[in-house]
Chain A
Amino acid sequence: MGIALIAGAGMAGRACALTLRRIGWDGEIVLVGDESTHPYDRPPLSKSVIVGTADMDKVVKPAPETYAQDRIDLRLGTRVEAVDAAARTATLSDGTALAWDALVLATGCAPRRLPIPGLERAHRITRMDEALALQALLAEGPRRLAIIGGGFIGMEAATAAVAHGHSATVLEAAPEPMSRPLGREVAAHVLRWAEARGVDIRAGVAVEAVTDAGVVLAGGEVVPADIVVAAVGQAPRLELAEALGCAITDGGVRVDAGLRTSVDGVWAVGDIAAFPSRWADEERIRVEHAAVAIGHGQVAAEQIALGEGLFEDLPTFWSDQGDLTLNVVGVPRPDDEIVWRGDTQTPACTAFYVRDGRMRAALSVGDMKTLRGVRKLFAAGVEPPPAMLADPAADLAALAAGG
């Protein structure tokens, strides 16, 4: 038994703590988070929270009293400052010293800091307090937003804002926004759909400064804005892992399929974990998506409680861009070949990511039947030839069932 210390009360940390109790582990659980809000789902921040349409009981969950009922010692507004692998101790920001038998690192990502003058006056929306601050401003009436960064978070915020009567200009340094996670061809479609909904996308621009008037671009042009949002990317918070001496791989904490780090008694979960995945040819990948974070938290809990459990889930994620929802299963790579199914002129189609003639991932928009079929194909290990994937008449679920 003993004491499980979970550093970081985000999506993975929360899942780990709740799962430990659900599967009957009886040791002490200390869940330490440096945010002041009770643990919550992070994805709604850039979607429903900023425009004020979120049902907060579904975002901040479980209900706060659950932690006491589950005998989870939740320390909010508190940071794990220092950790010692040999002594198995930790020091918190309030000065408390703790002993642990199992340590779970669930520290997530921190926003990237760019050396742009005035960037500190831009809003960030990766934490609840930040998203609520933007929500309060957007509630005052229609505003002109300039959003620096055209990744998922920036595009979600822009599409949500225009759907609620604001205007939004997205400023992206890369010539082809979203092409890193989605590949050029699919990204171009997603951007076109967003533009059709009224988002102004300016790609390949360099931001020089943020001022009272808006955003100053290289060359001197000012993009006027009432509100500037910075969504310029993030990087894993590895300080604790490094202090413990955990092996680091590709910018993440190196773990095995049981989420064990190279240091005995220490696990790493969620955005920071570089884990081996059979969905990526057994290579280690780092995934910054919610379902993976939750799955990691659950597996680390099983490991601590039962000494077994491997994370083998098919990675999936979604992104709501206003009334357009992207659902992705598998591990897409930017250089995969794209095979479309359905009419790409409308947001009711699926893009298959094909590598070496094999389906590796699919992104579906407004086509739940295909999405369901793809999940079944992956689960069954059935790989239809690309021509069949492209054929809207081919019943993927039936192919998965061997039909």
Chain B
Amino acid sequence: MAQVSIGSLDDFAEGELTRVEADGTALCVVRVGDRVHAICDDCPHAEASLSDGDFLSDDMAVECPLHGSSFNVETGEPDCPPATEAVQVYPVTVEGGDVLVDV
């Protein structure tokens, strides 16, 4: 694992999904308060970019724009079909306003 900086906390608007390339891995990133979550951007079900979907703040989940499975940003688990597998979750730390992802 390599820790990669993907920008500063201010680059990410609250609850908005952003696609970020970190060390060759496409991530779907979302800021919630002072925390930032990163999951793999590629939906495990079919061909969709999760950052094109919606962030459901009540469920802390990212909803796939294609078939609507939503993935919890902390566990990666989908809530309903058609996805059955969890999406990869990447640990994020915020240090002095700098957002660092382990990829």
| Chain A interface (Cβ < 8 Å from any Cβ of B) | 15, 43-44, 47-48, 53-55, 58, 61, 290-291, 294-295, 313, 316-318, 320, 325, 327, 368-369, 371-372, 375
30 A-B pairs with CB atoms under 8 Å apart are: A15-B84, A44-B46, A48-B47, A55-B42, A55-B47, A61-B85, A290-B81, A290-B82, A291-B81, A291-B82, A294-B81, A294-B84, A295-B81, A313-B81, A316-B80, A317-B82, A318-B66, A318-B82, A320-B46, A320-B66, A325-B66, A327-B67, A327-B68, A368-B54, A368-B63, A368-B68, A372-B63, A372-B70, A375-B68, A375-B80
By a CB distance below 8 angstroms, the chain A residues around B82 are 290-291, 316-318
Question: With an 8 A cutoff between CB atoms, is B15 at the interface?
Answer: no
By a CB distance below 8 angstroms, the chain B residues around A313 are 81
How far does the Cβ of A213 sit from chain B's closest Cβ, in whole Å? 35
Which residue of chain B has the shortest Cβ distance to A15 in the bound complex?
B84
Interface footprint category on B: 10 to 19
Which residue of chain A has the shortest Cβ distance to B59 in the bound complex?
A372
A368 close to B47 (CB less than 8 A)? no
How far does the Cβ of A397 sit from chain B's closest Cβ, in whole Å? 9
CA distance A291 to B81 in the complex (A): 6
CA distance A48 to B63 in the complex (A): 21
How far does the Cβ of A157 sit from chain B's closest Cβ, in whole Å? 16
Q: Bits for B15-27, please: 1 = Cβ < 8 Å to A, else 0.
A: 0000000000000
How far does the Cβ of B15 sit from chain A's closest Cβ, in whole Å? 15
A318 close to B67 (CB less than 8 A)? yes
By a CB distance below 8 angstroms, the chain A residues around B81 are 290-291, 294-295, 313, 316
How far does the Cβ of B77 sit from chain A's closest Cβ, in whole Å? 13
A48 close to B46 (CB less than 8 A)? yes
By a CB distance below 8 angstroms, the chain A residues around B56 are 372
Which residue of chain B has the shortest Cβ distance to A369 in the bound complex?
B54
B47 close to A53 (CB less than 8 A)? yes
B68 close to A372 (CB less than 8 A)? yes
